[in-house]
């Protein structure tokens, strides 16, 4: 596979993971907003837990492009606030990292049950 084809596959994987993150850990709606400072670390934790075998690191700029392509608007360019979504109240990066589907695969049954019970 050539480099251009590999980049396309990685981009598709990144887009799918952004979709999964938004579906699982975000609330959507008018009047909701969140800063990059809060949203991106949560996404990054999810990315690390979900894409363990992907050598491609997550990038803030790429994440912003994905949000924009999905129709989310932001104000400012250095520290934007994203409008139309926010994190679920309990979706903090440490919980996201421990509770992603792949992290459960890495645990034994007892550890996975303990996480589910929290």
The domains of the chain are located at 3-117
pTM above 0.85, yes or no: no
Cα Rg, the chain, nearest whole Å: 15
Taking Cα atoms as reference points, which of 75, 76, 116, 78 lies closest to residue 98?
116
Task: Give pLDDT tens digits for 108-118.
Answer: 334 333 333 33
Both tokens of 117, joined, read 């019970």
How much of the chain exceeds pLDDT 70, in percent? 64
- The most confident of the ranges 9-18, 22-31, 94-103 is 22-31
Using CA of residue 61, residue 65, residue 70, residue 71, what is the dihedral sign?
Answer: positive
């Amino acid at each position: 596979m050539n480099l251009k084809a590999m980049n396309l596959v990685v981009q598709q994987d990144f887009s799918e993971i952004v979709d999964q993150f938004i579906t699982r850990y975000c609330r959507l709606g008018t009047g909701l907003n969140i800063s990059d400072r809060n949203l991106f670390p949560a996404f990054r934790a999810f990315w690390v837990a979900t894409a363990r075998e992907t050598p491609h690191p997550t990038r803030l700029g790429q994440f912003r492009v994905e949000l924009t392509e999905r129709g989310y608007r932001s104000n400012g360019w250095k520290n934007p606030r994203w409008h139309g979504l926010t994190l679920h109240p309990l979706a903090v990066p440490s919980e996201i990292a421990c509770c992603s589907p792949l992290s459960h695969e890495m645990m034994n049954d007892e550890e996975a049950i303990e996480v589910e019970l929290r």
